[in-house]
Amino acid sequence: MATHEQTSPLDVEALRAEFPVLERRVGGDVTSPGEGEDDDQPLVYLDNAATSQTPRAVVESMSDYYYSYNANVHRGIHHLSQEASVAYEEAHDRVAEFIGAEGREEIVFVKNATEAENLVAYAWGLSELGPGDKVVLTQMEHHASLVTWQQIAKQTGAEVEYLRVTEDGYLDMDHAREAIDESTEMVSFVHVSNALGTINPAAELADLAHEVGAYVFVDGAQSVPTRPLDVGEIDCDFLAFSGHKMCGPTGIGVLYGKEAILEEMDPYLYGGEMIRSVDYEDSTWEELPWKFEAGTPPIAEAVGLHAACDYLDDIGLERVQDHEEMLAGYAYDRLTEFDDVTVYGPPGDDRGALVGFNLDGVHAHDLSSICNDYAVAIRAGDHCTQPLHDTLGAAASARASFYLYNTREEVDALVEAVDDARQLFA
**C-alpha angle 325-217-351 in degrees, rounded to nearest 5:** 15
Q: How confident is the model at residue 76 (pLDDT cuts 50, 70, 90)?
A: confident
Could you say which DSSP state residue 201 is in?
-
pLDDT value at position 34? 56
Count the domains in the chain. 2
- 41 falls within a domain: yes
Residue 31, Cβ neighbours under 10 Å: how many? 9
For residue 420, pLDDT over 60 is answered with yes
CATH number of the domain encompassing residue 242:
3.40.640.10
The pTM is what? Answer: 0.95
pLDDT tens digit sequence for 395-416: 999 999 999 999 999 999 999 9
Residues 303 and 352 in one domain: no
- Is 309 a residue of the active site? no
pLDDT value at position 40? 83
Residues 306 and 322 in one domain: no
pLDDT value at position 5? 57
Instruction: Tell me the one-letter amino acid at 335.
Output: L
pLDDT value at position 115? 98
pLDDT value at position 313? 98
Work out the mean pLDDT of the chain and round it to a whole number: 95
Q: How confident is the model at residue 1 (pLDDT cuts 50, 70, 90)?
A: very low
Picking from 122, 110, 88, the residue whose alpha carbon sits closest to that of residue 306 is: 88
pLDDT tens digit sequence for 45-73: 999 999 999 999 999 999 999 999 999 99
Residues 69 and 212 in one domain: yes
Residues 198 and 265 in one domain: yes
Residues 120 and 254: beta-carbon distance below 8 Å: no
Last residue of a domain, one of 252, 282, 314: 314
d(CA 295, CA 83): 18
Q: How confident is the model at residue 2 (pLDDT cuts 50, 70, 90)?
A: very low
Mean pLDDT for the stretch of residues 305-313? 98
Picking from 376, 412, 330, 400, the residue whose alpha carbon sits closest to that of residue 44 is: 376
Mean pLDDT for the stretch of residues 351-371? 96
Last residue of a domain, one of 275, 294, 314: 314
Helices (H) and strands (E) in the chain, counts: 15, 19
pLDDT value at position 7? 82
Mean pLDDT for the stretch of residues 105-131? 98
Mean pLDDT for the stretch of residues 128-151? 98
Whole-number percent of the chain with pLDDT over 70: 96
Last residue of a domain, one of 260, 280, 314: 314
- 184 falls within a domain: yes
For residue 202, pLDDT over 90 is answered with yes
Mean pLDDT for the stretch of residues 227-241? 98
Query: What range does the domain containing 283 cover?
Result: 58-314
Whole-number percent of the chain with pLDDT over 90: 93
Residues 259 and 169 in one domain: yes
- 415 falls within a domain: yes
Mean pLDDT for the stretch of residues 122-130? 97
For residue 29, pLDDT over 90 is answered with no
Residues 150 and 288 in one domain: yes
d(CA 110, CA 301): 10
Mean pLDDT for the stretch of residues 211-237? 98
Residues 353 and 251 in one domain: no
Buried b or exposed e, range 367-392, using 16+ CB within 10 angstroms:
bbebbeebbbbbbbbbbbbbbbbeeb
For residue 3, pLDDT over 80 is answered with no
Residue 350 phi, psi dihedral angles, 5° rounding: -145, 55
Mean pLDDT for the stretch of residues 240-257? 98
Residues 121 and 36 in one domain: no
Burial class (CB in 10 A: 0-12, 13-18, 19+), 285: middle
Mean pLDDT for the stretch of residues 329-354? 96
Q: How confident is the model at residue 425 (pLDDT cuts 50, 70, 90)?
A: confident
Residues 153 and 171: beta-carbon distance below 8 Å: no
Residues 158 and 297 in one domain: yes
Picking from 389, 407, 376, 401, the residue whose alpha carbon sits closest to that of residue 344 is: 389
pLDDT tens digit sequence for 153-190: 999 999 999 999 999 999 999 999 999 999 999 999 99
Residues 120 and 73 in one domain: yes
- State whether the Cα torsion 111-114-115-120 is positive or negative: positive
pLDDT tens digit sequence for 265-288: 999 999 999 999 999 999 999 999
pLDDT value at position 38? 53
Query: What is the gyration radius of the CA atoms in the chain, in angstroms?
Result: 22
